[in-house]
Amino acid sequence: MKLKSTSTIKLCLADKVMYNMMNEETAMGRWSRLETLYMTKSLSNKLYLKKQHYRLRMTEGTAVNLNYFNNVVSELLSVDVKIDEEDKVLILFSALLESYDHIVINMLYGKETLILEEVMLTLLSNKRQSS
């Protein structure tokens, strides 16, 4: 089991990351090293992730990249940065092109609160209909 978990971690790593793991023999050692390298809760790491989150923008001709948005949010949560549901929705709305304004207005109409999952489902549904 230990060999299998060590091998799985090794197979999932890019070559440049694997270079940093050469001295680690166990799965626990590799996992700890990965946490040390990439999951530190330092101020600079938190600020970098927040910057990525707030800079999220669509470009003309591209689809809404909800996977990237979700990855950034999960990375922020992993370093103990809490983001209100309303702030997540606002950042996602800010990333959208003007051509999505009518969808945003429809979602806001008559609502007291917005739930990120509902917003994402609406955006995905609209994406499928326009394809």
| Contact indicator for 126, 97 with CB cutoff of 8 Å | no
* Domain count across the chain: 2
- 3 token code pair: 């060999």
Calculate mean pLDDT across residues 48-68.
76
- 20-33 pLDDT tens trace: 777 888 888 888 88
Give the global pTM.
0.60
* Residues 30 and 56 occupy one common structural domain: no
Between CA 70 and CA 75 the distance in angstroms is 9
* Residues 52 and 97 occupy one common structural domain: yes
Of the CA atoms within 13 Å of residue 56, those in its CB half-sphere come to 25
φ, ψ (nearest 5 deg) of residue 65: -95, 80
* Residues 20 and 49 occupy one common structural domain: no
* Residues 125 and 63 occupy one common structural domain: yes
* Residues 71 and 90 occupy one common structural domain: yes
Domain that holds residue 61: 43-130
| Contact indicator for 107, 121 with CB cutoff of 8 Å | no
User: Residue 129: which pLDDT band, with cuts at 50, 70 and 90?
Assistant: low
Residue 49 confidence (pLDDT): 82
Share of the chain above pLDDT 90, in %: 0
Residue 26 confidence (pLDDT): 84
> Packing angle between helix 101-108 and helix 116-130, nearest 10 degrees?
140
Calculate mean pLDDT across residues 55-70.
74
* Residues 33 and 47 occupy one common structural domain: no
* Residues 32 and 57 occupy one common structural domain: no
* Residues 30 and 54 occupy one common structural domain: no
